[in-house]
Structure 1
Amino acid sequence: MDTPSGQPLNATAKTRHLLWCLLPQVLIVLFWTGWQAGGLWLALPSVFLMVIVPGLDWLTGWQDDQGFEKAQFSGWELSLLHWNVRLYALFYMVAVVWSVASLERFSPLELGLLLAACSLMAGIGFGAGHELLHGKELPDQVMQRLLTSFLFYPHYKLIHIRSHHVHAGTDEDENTAWMNETLYAYLFRTIPGSAVRCWQMEMRRVNSLYGQGLPALLRNRMLGYVLGQIAILASMAALGGIKGFAFFLLHLIGAHVILESVNYIQHYGLLRKMSDGQYEKTGPEHSWDTYHFFSSYITFRVGHHSNHHIAVRPYYLLYTQPEAPKLPVGYFWAIALVMIPPWWRHVAHPRLGPQEAA
């Protein structure tokens, strides 16, 4: 069996791929190492993600460009790959809860480092959540409900599958960034817009099944999500007091900025054309990809976004798409680019086709 580029695969390549897929667990180890040691050691996760990972991408020039098929993996290997995501989600949530319950032991500097670490881990957690919401097995669905609620994005599956995968690359998608739209304008559009879209979709669903009125409202999943989030906030306040409550909220703000920055990048300026009232089929040219090796594996290969839209494969089976526009850096440095809109446009627009960049 060959890769998409026609290069033959071997057992060594598969084993190497399998081991690199476990890279997110290194972040968990670094977090707990820093948590136990205290002081500047708490910066380990942040330095790893923001300096070491992109630095290794730059130094090696390696690309995550091999593709695999499910039949190449044994049953235990597939189980390991699935539990890799589930365990990251679980370890992340435990780390945040443990931190909220232990804030009194840390100095102000340590709290800042801990907050940065938890926010970055939560950003990777959204990558795990994205993988889990596409999973078919019961453990995936249970874990994605827990994780997305904990991340204060319980409607992630709803907006992602029923809206984004249908409307990606169009003006009807709240998660597609328009040409010349800044990250900051996008944030104020996509966050409330996604919530409103989910309420509307849920109201249509329950009204069609149960009619209008209170019985239908009580079956609206968005209402349950709101109540669940209130319960989580109350739990954080009970566990860590005002300081724990604030820490949890601040780490969520950081996590959502990371998530929405990635969402902003993934389809920026790549709108599908319309003909005779119909949008063209989603293709690789409608998503930004990045195959920078270490950044790819630490994020559950979320940079293979074009293939995800085309094939909806698990993270370990995603292929490269030569036709997709490519980011010059991995996501961690790309997020820094979009924070400064003129810099982002300077980098991104030349990589777009002449029609898109016009």
Structure 2
Amino acid sequence: MFRYLRFFFGPVMVMVISTAMYFGGIWLWLPSLLQISFVALLDQAFPYDLDERPYQQSWLLDLALYLSLPATLWLFLSVMWAVGSGTQDPLGIGALMHSLSGVDVVAARADTAWYHYLPMCVVLLITATGAGGLAGHELTHRTSRPFDLWLGRISMAILWGVAFPIEHVYGHHAYVSTPKDPATAARGDSLYQHFPKSLYRTVTNAWEIEQARLAKLGLSFWSTRNALLRMSLVSLCFTLLAYTLAGWAGVLLHIVLSLEAKLALEALNYIEHYGLVRLAGEPVQPRHSWNCNHSVSGVLTYNLTRHSHHHADAQVHFQDLRSFAEQPQMPGGFMTAFVSAWVPWLWRKRIAPKLLTWDREQASPREYKLIHEANLRSGWPELMGSVASAPQNLHTARPA
């Protein structure tokens, strides 16, 4: 039974963190900080998860995913309540918390110093993404199940995740490891260089994909069947709700959280695909994604860590993804790699040897020319020792 229940940890943790925020002070940020720290540490303490036994009760795992929507809603309401002022309690949640806990949460909020809100905004980057983004990613891949698809898109739209569900499913999975893919960071690009380019190209790709879909149906861009417009309307409604609950401070925080959720998702893409190349038009292989089999990260991301299989077959549900232990592994656990990506010199130190190993053991000779050009553009001298840069390989490797 634990094999099933462990996938409930994610939404339950988000709800616990959200509830703690009503008590103000350090409770605005400490639980999220502990979550990040414990996941990184426990990933190193537990053995790799290579278990590929089938799950018989898939409905239980679906329920864990479906909890993402109430978890995201609760986080949204908690954050908006936390930035309220005075005796503001429009939904009566503060009064309810007072009656249940015996703590005057309105007074606790009033006594919270301004500087507690700064770390809150930083650590909520992980919590906000975990609330709707990770389960939403899995659900939006279930294109044959309308309810799952709808739920995933709504969960992501709460924090203005409008373009990602479209571009990711219908663009990224087709373009991965090619220059057209907004999620594949070029060798030498830091996360801070990658993010603005990825954000822009994700939005433009999503609009192109949706316009092409509507054109095939003989519908205009302004059709009520435009998924991007419908999701944008949902997002706008939540921005208006933020204003109703917390005024302009709520609107500002909603925008900040939305940007953070987008940044976190792009950081995940960054560590999952960094520097890998593929000839456009050739089949996507498991080796075109960095994989990870760390136990705790896998549980909290719905096996997003098993990324090699996910890209080999995007329609496979998360519980059926194989470990693919022989595929290229990202440096450290999922959370460790995620955190190190924010420190460019540390990320470079950890990923450069991995890239050289990938060039030597995973790359196809037909990809050598692309690799060599990518290494030159990176400006990283250590990559020039790649097997792809050997004169004999450059002479013979020519993309068709």
Q: Please tell me the TM-score bracket, short chain as reference.
A: 0.7 to 0.9
Instruction: Please tell me whether residue 73 in structure 1 is matched to residue 56 in structure 2.
Output: yes
> Do the aligned partners of residues 143 and 208 (structure 1) sit closer, same or farther apart at CA in structure 2, a change above 3 Å counting?
closer
Correspondence 1:132 to 2:134: no
Does the 8 A contact of 1:132 with 1:140 survive in 2? yes
Match of 1:249 in 2: 255
Q: Which amino acid aligns with 1:332?
A: M
Q: Which amino acid aligns with 1:172?
A: K
Structure 1 gap ranges (5+): 1-14
1:27/1:45 contact within 8 Å kept: no
Q: State the distance in 2 between where 1:153 and 1:25 align.
A: 18
TM-score, normalised via structure 2 length = 0.76
Task: Map 1:20-169 onto structure 2 (within 5 A).
Answer: 20-58=6-44, 60-69=45-54, 72-74=55-57, 78-103=58-83, 104=85, 105=106, 106=109, 107=112, 108-116=114-122, 118-124=124-130, 125-135=132-142, 136-169=144-177
Given residue 248 of structure 2, which amino acid in structure 1 is its aligned partner?
I
Shift of 1:147: 1.0
Q: Which runs of 5+ in 2 are unaligned?
A: 86-105, 360-367, 372-382, 387-400
- Matches of 2:243 and 2:331 in 1, distance apart? 42
Question: What secondary structure is seen at the aligned counterpart in 2 of 1:210?
Answer: coil
The one-letter amino acid paired with 1:160 is: H
How far 1:216 sits from its partner (Å)?
A: 4.1
User: 2:65 and 2:123 mapped to 1: Cα distance?
Assistant: 19
The CA deviation at 1:229 is 2.8
Task: Report whether the alignment pairs 1:221 with 2:227.
Answer: yes
2:159 and 2:254 in contact (8 A); partners too: no
Contact kept in structure 2, 1:133 and 1:157, CA below 8 Å:
yes
1:33 to 1:113, Cα distance in 2 relative to 1, 3 A = farther
Instruction: Report if the CA contact (8 A) 1:177-1:268 is conserved.
Output: yes
Amino acid at match of 1:301: N
Number of matched pairs? 331
Q: By how many angstroms is 1:267 displaced?
A: 1.0
Counterpart check, 1:180 vs 2:165: no
SS at 2:48 equivalent: coil
Q: Equivalent residue of 2:217, what SS?
A: helix
Residue identity opposite 2:237 in structure 1: A
Cα offset, 1:241, TM superposition: 0.1
Task: Tell me which stretches of 4 or more aligned residues in structure 1 moved more than 6 Å.
Answer: none
CA separation in 1, counterparts of 2:123 and 2:19? 12
* Equivalent residue, structure 1, for 2:389: none
Cα deviation per residue 1:32-79 (whole Å; 9 max; x = unaligned)? 452354432333432332211111222x2421211132xx413xxx21
- Once the two structures are superposed, residues 285-344 of structure 1 have per-residue CA deviations (whole angstroms, 9 ceiling, x without a partner) of 111112221122112221111111113322222211133211232232222211222221
Task: Pick closer, same or farther for the CA change 1:138–1:198 going to 2, 3 Å.
Answer: closer
Post-superposition offset of 1:116: 4.2
Instruction: Check whether the contact 2:36–2:126 (CA below 8 A) recurs between aligned residues.
Output: no
Q: Measure the CA separation in 1 of the matches of 2:78 and 2:346.
A: 38
| Aligned mates of 1:293, 1:196 — CA distance in 2 | 36
Match of 2:100 in 1: none
Give me the whole-angstrom Cα distance separating, in 2, the residues matched to 1:41 and 1:205.
Answer: 46
Match status 1:170 vs 2:185? no
Query: Which structure ranks higher in relative contact order (CA pairs < 8 Å, sequence separation ≥ 6)?
Result: 1
Change in Cα spacing, 1:221 to 1:92, as seen in structure 2 (3 Å) is: closer
Distance in 1, matches of 2:139 and 2:230, equals 20
Answer yes or no: is 1:295 the counterpart of 2:275. no
Aligned residue type for 2:339:
A
Structure-2 residue corresponding to 1:7: none
Distance in 2, matches of 1:89 and 1:224, equals 17
